[in-house]
Every structure is written in structure tokens, then in C-alpha cells.
């Protein structure tokens, strides 16, 4: 069943207005949904509703709530802070991490990142990545929308990690734990953040800063992975093994 994101739905609401231009266009012109057809709404709080389209206008659609679905357990809350790779690979990273159920994605500019975005490009990419996240959230039947944060520097990001129970940093150098061992050690964690470095890994000074901020260096195995592969591999391991 087709899915659409709306603002938070109140407990007593019996009708919802869908007036986001992009989603209204998708409902009306792309999917060609007609009155009396059913769609699912989710409001980014974990709630889902089966609704019936009652009216479709030029600026909005009205949907009547038929049933509230039982909320799904969101499991581990995972944030991935990922260095921006070359070309358009960040688009694919956002898409795949959203499908895997990553709650938040933070694009990073680190010392060895090749792609340097000006202010305008950062704004354009921020909008594009959130649009990709919305599409992937609906496709994967998520009950919450993955948030893509604005591009951040490493130091700024490290200053905002106190809320996380477990902080992991895959790296190629130094003393590291196997990622499986690190995850098992944090068996009861609910909020995890993972740092994914650029091609060529983090600079030594960055690794030191991250360790001081509580990040645990981990190994992803014998092979050297590209940024996009590493991000998806780590998220897959964590999200597909939430019962560890």
C-alpha cells in the first residue's frame, strides 16, 4: 500500500490533510490515486494509519483515518556520521542507510575528504539527500523518517555525541577491536553512533580527537573497503543483528 509522511497526527484526529506539494503531486499525478482508495500515513513518531482518500483538490488531499496500526519496535537507534565520498556516492549511501533503518545520517567534511562543497552546494545537497531519505523511507515501509543533517566538520560533530551509549570508529591503523566484539560488549546499548572515514582513512589527529570523545576504534576485517561499502556494511551488521 502506498505510504505518505504527514505532520504528527493527534489522538482524536479523524481526518488528515496532505498538503505537501511534492507528496500531493506523487499521490495525484504519479500514482493517480483516486477518492475511496486506501493509503498508509506515517507521522515520524512511529505511528501508522490506514486511511481512505475522501477528496483530492489542487492544493491538498483529505484522508479519513480508518485504523491505527500497532507501533513497531524501532530497536537500536543508529546514527552514521560519514565522510563525503567522491562523485554522487553519498546519494547511494543515504538511500541504502535509510532502507536499513538508520535513524540519522551526518555528512562529514574531514581532513582527507576530497569533495569540498561551498555554501550553496551544501544547501542543495542537504535538500537532495533529505528528498532521497523520504523516498527510501516510504519504499522500505519505515515508520520514522531518517534525518539527514547538514554537512558538518568532525570537531563540531564530536562535540554533540554525549547522548550515545556506544561510539564506534572503523579505522585501518592502530589497536582495534573486532566490530562483532565491540557490539557484543555494548549488549544493552540503545543509541549507537558510527564514524565512517574517507578514502585513505581518518588522519592521526582526527583519530585521537575521536578517541578522546569516547569512540572505540574497530576493524571491519582484512579488506580495505570504500566509504560507501563500509557505511552499508556496518549499518547492516548492526541493524540486522539487533537481538545480539
Confidence of residue 244 (pLDDT cuts 50, 70, 90): very low
What digits encode the pLDDT tens for the residues 210-236?
999 999 999 988 888 899 999 999 999
Distance set, CA 71 to CA 9, 97, 126, 129 (Å): 14, 21, 29, 26
pLDDT of residue 5: 86
pLDDT of residue 154: 95
Judge whether 85 and 107 are in contact, CB under 8 Å: no
In this predicted structure, the answer to whether residue 186 has a pLDDT above a threshold of 70 is no
For residues 125 and 138, give the distance between their C-alpha atoms in angstroms, rounded to a whole number. Answer: 20
Phi, psi (deg, nearest 5) at residue 178 = -65, 140
Q: Averaged over 64-79, what is the pLDDT?
A: 83
Reading phi first (left if > 0) and then psi (alpha if -120 to 50, else beta), residue 134 is in alpha
In this predicted structure, the answer to whether residue 21 has a pLDDT above a threshold of 50 is yes
For strand 48-56 and strand 38-42, is the pairing parallel, antiparallel, or unpaired? antiparallel
| Higher-scoring residue by pLDDT: 174, 91 | 91
Judge whether 80 and 105 are in contact, CB under 8 Å: yes
| Higher-scoring residue by pLDDT: 7, 242 | 7
Judge whether 65 and 15 are in contact, CB under 8 Å: yes
For the chain, domain boundaries: 3-69, 77-239
Fold of 77-239: Alpha/beta knot (3.40.1280)
pLDDT of residue 223: 85
Q: Averaged over 77-104, what is the pLDDT?
A: 94
Please state, as a whole number, how many other Cβ atoms lie within 10 Å of the Cβ of residue 45: 12
What digits encode the pLDDT tens for the residues 25-52?
999 999 999 999 999 998 877 788 999 9
Please state, as a whole number, how many other Cβ atoms lie within 10 Å of the Cβ of residue 26: 16
What digits encode the pLDDT tens for the residues 115-140?
889 999 999 999 999 999 999 998 88
What digits encode the pLDDT tens for the residues 95-113?
999 999 999 999 999 999 9
What digits encode the pLDDT tens for the residues 45-66?
778 899 999 999 999 999 999 9
pLDDT of residue 187: 63
Architecture of domain 3-69: Beta Barrel (2.40)
| Higher-scoring residue by pLDDT: 149, 184 | 149
Name the packing angle between helices 119-139 and 89-99 (round to 10°). Answer: 30
C-alpha cell at 122: 551544501
Judge whether 203 and 156 are in contact, CB under 8 Å: no
Mean pLDDT of the chain: 90
C-alpha cell at 221: 576485517
Residue 234, class by beta-carbon neighbours within 10 Å (0-12 exposed, 13-18 middle, 19+ buried)?
Answer: buried
Compute the residue count for the chain.
Answer: 244
Q: Which of 243, 215, 219, 244 is nearest to 230 (CA)?
A: 219
Amino acid at each position: 500500500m502506498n505510504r505518505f509522511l504527514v505532520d504528527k497526527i493527534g489522538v482524536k484526529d479523524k481526518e488528515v490533510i496532505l498538503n505537501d506539494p511534492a507528496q500531493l503531486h506523487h499521490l495525484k499525478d504519479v500514482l493517480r490515486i483516486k477518492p475511496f482508495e486506501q493509503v498508509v500515513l506515517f507521522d515520524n513518531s512511529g505511528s501508522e494509519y490506514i486511511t481512505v482518500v475522501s477528496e483530492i483538490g489542487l492544493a491538498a488531499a483529505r484522508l479519513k483515518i480508518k485504523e491505527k496500526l500497532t507501533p513497531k519496535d524501532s530497536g537500536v537507534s543508529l546514527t552514521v556520521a560519514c565522510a563525503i565520498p567522491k562523485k554522487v556516492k553519498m546519494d547511494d549511501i543515504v538511500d541504502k542507510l535509510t532502507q536499513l533503518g538508520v535513524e540519522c545520517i551526518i555528512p562529514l567534511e574531514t581532513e582527507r575528504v576530497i569533495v569540498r562543497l561551498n555554501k550553496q552546494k551544501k544547501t542543495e545537497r542537504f535538500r537532495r539527500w533529505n528528498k532521497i531519505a523520504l523516498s527510501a523511507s516510504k519504499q522500505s515501509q519505515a515508520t520514522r523518517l531518517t534525518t539527514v543533517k547538514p554537512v558538518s566538520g568532525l570537531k563540531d560533530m564530536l562535540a554533540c555525541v554525549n547522548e550515545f551509549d556506544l561510539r564506534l570508529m572503523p579505522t585501518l591503523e592502530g589497536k582495534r577491536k573486532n566490530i562483532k566484539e565491540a557490539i557484543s560488549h555494548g549488549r544493552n546499548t540503545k543509541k549507537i553512533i558510527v564514524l565512517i572515514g574517507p578514502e585513505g582513512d581518518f588522519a592521526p589527529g582526527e583519530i585521537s580527537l575521536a578517541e578522546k570523545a569516547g569512540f572505540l576504534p574497530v576493524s571491519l576485517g582484512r579488506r580495505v573497503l570504500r566509504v560507501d561499502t563500509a557505511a552499508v556494511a556496518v549499518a547492516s551488521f548492526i541493524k540486522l543483528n539487533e537481538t545480539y
